[in-house]
Chain A
């Protein structure tokens, strides 16, 4: 009995302190909110948002609700997150392999890239990309045409879109007045965010890839070369497949970091989850509800990311590829 108590007592004490502190904070909060006349609860989600959102993947007008605005933000976060993870993986793989190249120049260019990018804050990099598009790119009338239909100007980058209205054809952007019409326009904010995230995250993925390649025993490469495979074949057929199981766990962390870092968009005005939350809490004063909701969504995204990749890892394990 006394021994049990001795185990239970310190735990209950800590729990009591935590609960007590929590209760104190909640009491203060309710008190403060009552004083300020702020109603608590999630009813605000059904109210009219009354603000415009520049970029949206799902239909939305300012007459829609805050809840819908949040959904627009979530969709934008997912868009940046998914595109970002894919592109960062590709770039990271290239840089990571280049970092291990037998070519001295290539190896050192990769190292330079990794060092330069990793040692400068991401937000600073985003600011630079953003200003590059906003300030340095020409106005639409003097836009640079990269390829037919691809115009780069300070309004963003235009992209032709396939259209199925009245038979299949390409909807090609063209200059109309002071701006472009038709096709899709990638805003400077979206482009800066995506490019910034991809370049930053790729520098971290490159190091993971390198560690993965180094983690595969040298004997494997030697065995592959002894069988007559070319170095590149040895890399892609023997080493990288085995490196996958070393690379995967830290890769999950970097994917989660990319998604979380996409919240920096709030500083350059791309309307994703964090930016919409910020606008919402400024307009409604529902700080606690808005912030908690946002945190729960981000937590959910983190969990989904790791669940997806763990599922992939388990599939590899089934084939005996991973431990």
Chain B
């Protein structure tokens, strides 16, 4: 009875709404059925190659056998198969660190989280690179797939953060020259596409350095992402700085705190805690933007997926490959955005 009353109020109140519900309901049901039919009923779960798989599905279903064959390549790329357990541990470690960092009890002081990440990153680097403890060396050009995506987003964001704080403070500085430099940097970087910054890092960075100094492709992309994220984060942090009432600055002043003490002890802790929800949203955008490194020749998760579908034995299973990878991105981004929403709600209270 309750269900019927609910449906009347929410689905069938009035002629127009009833029509809308019926049409939308039909389309959704049909779409869902097509997805189930393709993805489950007519899908092939195991096959030796693409041709055999197509024979099973008769081109009417998904060929999940492709994923079965290729998931290791998509996730880890050209990382030596015998060593991929190392990359897997790194992925799990990263996810673990992100989950732990979400616990607000750890935020009382900056130290616990910083310590976790520094130790975690060092351990990850050793695991990925090897060369010690009897682990064979794996060069950075073989750091592919999901570990690379995680590495790029985390390290670039972590590196961008201090620069972003300086830029945000600089933009609100009383010193005109410092303000002009900060505004100039932020607006320039935000006004151009991220790819142009990546191009710059990949083509121009080698030119900037003294002759004979060669830098890794991975580092170039990291520098590019870092420069870009710094400007984006700076604007978010500036929003937090603006939200702090002038009374806080005055109270710190009359207590005799110096500019540095005021900034570090009074202003930044408050500004950063207000900005955590929008910061998480920036992290999500940054995480998605790491896919652009494919354009400067790095093998991130999206590149491994788009390379896997060019294999002659398995040509053309792009839907399966992209659904698989999209699901991974979705899980990461969606859970981060849920988390950001829950933070927003708890600060509203």
The answer to whether A and B touch in the complex, with CB atoms under 8 Å apart, is: yes
Contact A105 B11 (CB under 8 A): yes
Query: Is A260 an interface position by the 8 A CB rule?
Result: yes
- Chain A: CB-nearest residue to B21: A105
Which of B13, B192, B322, B333 is within 8 Å of A295, CB to CB? B192
Q: Which B residues are closer than 8 A to A by beta carbons?
A: 10-11, 13, 17, 20-21, 24-25, 28, 175-178, 181, 188, 191-196, 199-200, 203-204, 206-211, 284, 288-289, 291-292, 294-295, 302, 306, 309, 316, 318-319, 322, 325-326, 329-330, 333-334, 337
Q: Which chain B residues lie closer than 8 Å to A32 at the CB level?
A: 206-207, 211
Contact B196 A291 (CB under 8 A): yes
- Minimum distance in angstroms from A79 CB to a CB of chain B: 17
Contact A263 B330 (CB under 8 A): no
The 10 closest A-B pairs by CB, nearest first: A119-B333, A104-B10, A263-B193, A11-B177, A260-B193, A121-B288, A131-B318, A299-B191, A121-B291, A302-B191
Q: Which chain B residues lie closer than 8 Å to A29 at the CB level?
A: 204, 207-208
Contact A14 B181 (CB under 8 A): yes
Chain A residues numbered 261-297 whose CB sits less than 8 Å from any CB in chain B:
261, 263-264, 266-267, 274, 277-278, 281, 287-288, 291, 294-295
Query: Is A180 an interface position by the 8 A CB rule?
Result: no
Contact A103 B21 (CB under 8 A): yes
Query: Is A323 an interface position by the 8 A CB rule?
Result: no
- Minimum distance in angstroms from B171 CB to a CB of chain A: 13
- Chain B: CB-nearest residue to A130: B318
* Range, interface on chain A: 35 or more
Given contacts A119-B330, A288-B207, contact A103 B322 (CB under 8 A): no
Contact B330 A120 (CB under 8 A): yes
Contact A291 B193 (CB under 8 A): no
Contact B188 A299 (CB under 8 A): yes
Given contacts A122-B288, A299-B188, contact A28 B175 (CB under 8 A): no
Complex CA distance for A108 and B288, rounded to whole angstroms: 24
Complex CA distance for A118 and B210, rounded to whole angstroms: 42
Known contacts A287-B207, A294-B192; 17 additional CB pairs below 8 A are A11-B178, A14-B177, A14-B181, A29-B204, A29-B208, A32-B207, A103-B10, A105-B24, A105-B28, A120-B326, A121-B291, A128-B318, A256-B191, A263-B193, A264-B295, A288-B204, A299-B191
Query: Is A218 an interface position by the 8 A CB rule?
Result: no
Complex CA distance for A109 and B31, rounded to whole angstroms: 12
Chain A residues numbered 92-111 whose CB sits less than 8 Å from any CB in chain B:
102-106, 109
Contact B199 A278 (CB under 8 A): yes
Query: Is A307 an interface position by the 8 A CB rule?
Result: no
Contact A104 B11 (CB under 8 A): yes
- Chain A: CB-nearest residue to B7: A104
